[in-house]
């Protein structure tokens, strides 16, 4: 147990008696020189008194806590001069003030609080009953009426750690051994993954590094991702986190990590045992080492950040940091009650200057000190809310986009939350990109639910090809819908890459489960299967889940599922916009039908690398598709595609045709019974790098035209190519999603497959043809 606190002016704590009147700091945080001397400040305008508590280790698991009151209050900042706050020092905060939860006052000095700007924390901790500001029962439920808990939690609390000033990582600075890749948006291919889950079962990662930051930076991982064609990893949250009470009651954890404890400190749970043993500063350096290794492998690092709520949750949650310091300063309150547009019981207040400053400083820290290349903002609609709802010109969004550090990194919004008016896809200001749920839904409808309805019910209709074409062309109808009306014709404030295209993500079915299950199977979550969305737009192809091993139709069933999965991947990777893969989809990762595996830190969620040997064709399909995407600039247009001009075809144009090679007018676009679409992308100007060092074409003379044929029909078809006079060049098959060996197809081609302007297209497949602009097929992909 800790010794009694030592207090008073003569205590050997961190605060030093000033020799002259100190200058008040202008912002919260610890500002010290290498000797640990400087100032500390924290925002808590409603607190009566803040104590800075330093932990002195006495050995044998015992420690002494030195408490000293911060003597100055200026502009809502409690602050003082400090000394001996050297790297590795453990410290925390205690806030004194009224106890009146009904009015938003949760002050309880018995609870040690994490400094909101701490760069490191002592350890990853389970949620304990002592962390609640109010009395709770054995199940961590509040005891009514709410009474302030008098149990001191110093022996179970997470402590802040002084980290010191790291060498800059950004822009290939002194702390970086490899310059950031800085991949342009049009060339970006994102892979969303979980630091632990991606390598926990990886056979080529040393056992002691599996599931860790260091494991993700292992050469076997970086070479695999870059070899696949990925240019950026989007990491599920790596901030220090804490589990929610309802998960602790059920013996589960928040595996995804959307329950932030600190916006500056990394999660020690993802560090190697050696780094954790060495201490918090070693954990910090392991994260920086991971980022350096990913950069060296040509991969950018994008962090998923959760600025809409914290691990403190709603009114029944613990006091870990912001709630205990000053709940009304940091959380959105209505008469003392927490406003909830996040589904977690509370919402960080984006109108608060303290919250805006906290968000901006956190983002700058991860860019400048840690070296990351961008951020994906969870429930980003919350960040743009004021009392009237969502505003694209919200102060916080404007501050991010105008910040001289942040405006040059990748910014991705999850453009919705669960509050009123929460769906805001297409509404975020440039340079934000956005997860495009319309892309996800329309591709699933075309390849899954429409086909399922036709097979089960004999329906001849469906969604048709209109929405599919809009998604393939960059989703201008969604992403540019709020452009000013007085822009010049054809101009937009957005670009196709502003649409982050995806078919699956961490939230929902994996690709394998998408083609294997009609219903969610979330029983392991302990919520009676009620959690997770019921709108999956999936199709089990006639059997729910894996068929019995002795089922004579099992092989045919799995072959159909595999063909559909490759068709979905083809549509994703050939569409205008920024493609995002979900890790493991390229070889059939399954969550056994769980579409909300946020609390499954086990084999349900971890990537099973043994599956890679079972579906090598799907991996090779992804590699082939990304190779095609990298070689042909018309697949990476920086402008929205214009209608094709047969008299002057060129870059930035697209032609649309039916299975008879006829152009699409109004009637076929509106026909729900159409299941076949041809997309023609003519070659154009602009140099592009080839594959394996081959030079790219400069375009107008000899650039390949690309023809992508998508058929959701259940039978093979003979399709007539468009009858344009400039399409007389030699034709080469680059990719066929129905092929079991797409790599061999990409290398050899099938020049004889097109005869007399017609080609064979197999059921439920995507076919990619290259038509040589100079009469000879381009060999860059050989």
CA neighbours closer than 13 Å in the CB half-sphere of residue 630? 24
For the chain, state the CA radius of gyration: 28
Residue 349: active-site member: no
CA–CA dist 557, 537 (Å, integer)? 19
CA–CA dist 474, 681 (Å, integer)? 13
44 closest CA partner among 137, 109, 102, 119: 109
- Please check whether residue 237 is in contact with residue 94, taking contact to mean a CB–CB distance below 8 angstroms: no
- Please check whether residue 87 is in contact with residue 162, taking contact to mean a CB–CB distance below 8 angstroms: yes
- Please check whether residue 326 is in contact with residue 47, taking contact to mean a CB–CB distance below 8 angstroms: yes
User: Which member of 414, 417, 434, 562 is catalytic?
Assistant: 414
Residue 378: active-site member: yes
DSSP 410-474: EEEE--B-SSTT-B-TT-SPTT-EEE-HHHHHHHHIIIIIHHHHHHHH----SSTTHHHHHHHTT
Reduced to 3 states (helix: H, G, I; strand: E, B; else coil), residue 771 is strand
Backbone angles phi, psi at 508, to 5 degrees: 125, -170
List the 77-82 sheet strands across, edge first.
29-32, 38-43, 77-82, 72-74
CA–CA dist 589, 610 (Å, integer)? 10
What is the number of residues in the chain?
A: 782
305 closest CA partner among 403, 234, 212, 406: 234
**Separation of first and last alpha carbons in the chain:** 70
Give the β-pairing of 758-761 and 300-305.
Answer: unpaired
User: Which member of 152, 378, 417, 736 is catalytic?
Assistant: 378
Give the β-pairing of 433-435 and 499-501.
Answer: parallel
Would you give the DSSP letter of residue 407?
A: G
DSSP 504-542: --SSS--HHHHTT-SS---GGGTSTT-SS-S------TT
Helix H or strand E encompassing 222 = helix 219-228
CA–CA dist 255, 243 (Å, integer)? 9
CA–CA dist 545, 575 (Å, integer)? 29
CA–CA dist 596, 256 (Å, integer)? 10
Torsion sign across C-alpha atoms 733, 735, 736, 741: positive
- Please check whether residue 16 is in contact with residue 83, taking contact to mean a CB–CB distance below 8 angstroms: yes
- Please check whether residue 394 is in contact with residue 351, taking contact to mean a CB–CB distance below 8 angstroms: no
Tokens 């700058």, residue located = 364
Q: Quote the tokens at residue 479.
A: 């992403």
Active site positions, annotated: 378, 414
């Amino acid at each position: 147990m800790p010794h009694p606190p030592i207090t008073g002016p003569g205590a050997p704590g961190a605060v030093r008696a000033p020799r002259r009147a100190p200058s008040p700091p202008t912002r919260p945080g610890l500002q010290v020189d290498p000797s640990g001397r400087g100032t500390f400040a924290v925002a808590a305008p409603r607190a009566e008194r803040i104590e800075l508590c330093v932990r002195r280790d006495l050995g044998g698991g015992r420690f002494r806590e030195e408490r000293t009151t911060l003597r100055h209050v200026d502009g809502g900042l409690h602050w003082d001069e400090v000394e001996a706050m050297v790297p590795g020092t453990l410290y925390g905060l205690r806030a004194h003030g009224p106890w009146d939860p009904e009015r938003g006052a949760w002050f309880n000095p018995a609870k040690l609080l994490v400094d909101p700007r701490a760069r490191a924390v002592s350890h990853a901790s389970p949620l304990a009953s002592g962390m609640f500001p109010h009395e709770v029962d054995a199940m961590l439920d509040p005891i009514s009426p709410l009474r302030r808990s008098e149990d001191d939690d110093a022996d179970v609390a997470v402590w802040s750690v002084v980290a010191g000033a790291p060498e800059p990582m950004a822009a290939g600075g002194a702390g970086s051994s490899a310059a950031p890749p800085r991949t342009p948006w049009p060339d970006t291919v994102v892979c969303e993954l979980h630091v632990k889950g991606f390598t926990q079962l990886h056979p080529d990662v040393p056992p002691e590094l599996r599931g860790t930051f260091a494991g993700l930076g292992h050469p076997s991982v970086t070479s695999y991702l870059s070899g696949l064609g990925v240019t950026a990893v989007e990491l599920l949250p790596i901030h220090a986190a804490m589990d929610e009470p309802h998960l602790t009651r059920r013996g589960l954890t928040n595996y995804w990590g959307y329950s932030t404890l600190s916006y500056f400190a990394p999660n020690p749970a993802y560090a190697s045992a050696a780094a954790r043993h060495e201490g918090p500063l070693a954990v910090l350096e392991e994260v920086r080492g991971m980022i350096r290794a990913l950069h060296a492998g040509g991969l950018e690092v994008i962090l998923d950040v959760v600025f809409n709520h914290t691990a403190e949750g709603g009114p029944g949650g613990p006091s870990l940091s912001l709630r205990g310091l000053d709940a009304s300063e940091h959380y959105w309150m209505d008469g003392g009650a927490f406003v909830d547009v996040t589904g977690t019981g509370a919402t960080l207040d984006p109108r608060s200057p303290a919250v805006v400053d906290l968000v901006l400083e956190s983002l700058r820290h991860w860019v400048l000190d840690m070296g990351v290349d961008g951020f994906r903002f969870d429930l980003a609609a919350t960040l743009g809310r004021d009392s009237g709802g969502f505003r694209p010109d919200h102060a916080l969004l404007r501050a991010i986009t105008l910040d001289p550090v942040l405006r040059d990194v990748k910014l991705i919004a999850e453009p919705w939350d669960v509050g009123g008016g929460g769906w805001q896809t297409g509404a975020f200001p440039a340079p934000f990109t956005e997860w495009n749920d319309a892309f996800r839904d329309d591709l699933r409808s075309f390849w899954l639910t429409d086909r399922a309805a036709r097979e089960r019910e004999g329906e001849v209709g469906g969604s048709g090809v209109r929405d599919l074409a809009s998604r393939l062309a960059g989703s201008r109808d969604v992403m540019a819908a709020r452009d000013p009306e007085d822009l010049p014709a054809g101009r937009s404030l957005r670009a196709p890459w502003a649409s982050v295209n995806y078919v699956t993500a961490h939230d929902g079915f994996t690709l394998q489960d998408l083609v294997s299950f009609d219903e969610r199977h979330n029983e392991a979550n302990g919520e009676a299967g009620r959690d997770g969305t019921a709108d999956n737009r999936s199709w089990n192809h006639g059997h729910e889940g894996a068929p019995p091993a002795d089922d004579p139709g099992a092989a045919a069933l799995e072959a159909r599922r595999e063909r559909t999965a490759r068709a979905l991947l083809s549509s994703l990777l050939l569409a205008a916009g920024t493609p995002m893969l979900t890790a493991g989809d390229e070889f059939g990762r399954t969550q056994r039908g769980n579409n909300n595996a946020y609390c499954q830190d086990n084999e349900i969620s971890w990537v099973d690398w043994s599956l890679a040997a079972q579906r090598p064709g799907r991996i090779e399909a992804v590699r082939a598709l990304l190779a095609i995407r990298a070689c042909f600039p018309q697949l990476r247009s920086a402008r929205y595609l214009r209608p094709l001009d047969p008299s002057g075809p060129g870059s930035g144009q697209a032609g649309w045709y039916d299975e008879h090679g006829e152009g699409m007018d109004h009637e076929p676009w509106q026909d729900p019974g159409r299941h076949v679409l041809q997309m023609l992308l003519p070659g154009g100007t602009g140099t592009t790098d080839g594959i394996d060092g081959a030079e790219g074409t400069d375009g107008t003379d000899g650039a390949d035209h690309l023809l992508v044929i998508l058929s959701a029909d259940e039978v093979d078809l003979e399709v007539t190519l468009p009858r344009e006079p400039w399409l007389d060049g030699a034709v080469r098959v680059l990719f066929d999603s129905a092929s079991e060996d797409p790599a061999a197809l990409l290398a050899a081609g099938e020049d004889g497959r097109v005869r007399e302007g017609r080609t064979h297209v197999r059921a439920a497949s995507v076919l990619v043809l290259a038509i040589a602009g100079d009469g000879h097929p381009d060999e860059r992909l050989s």
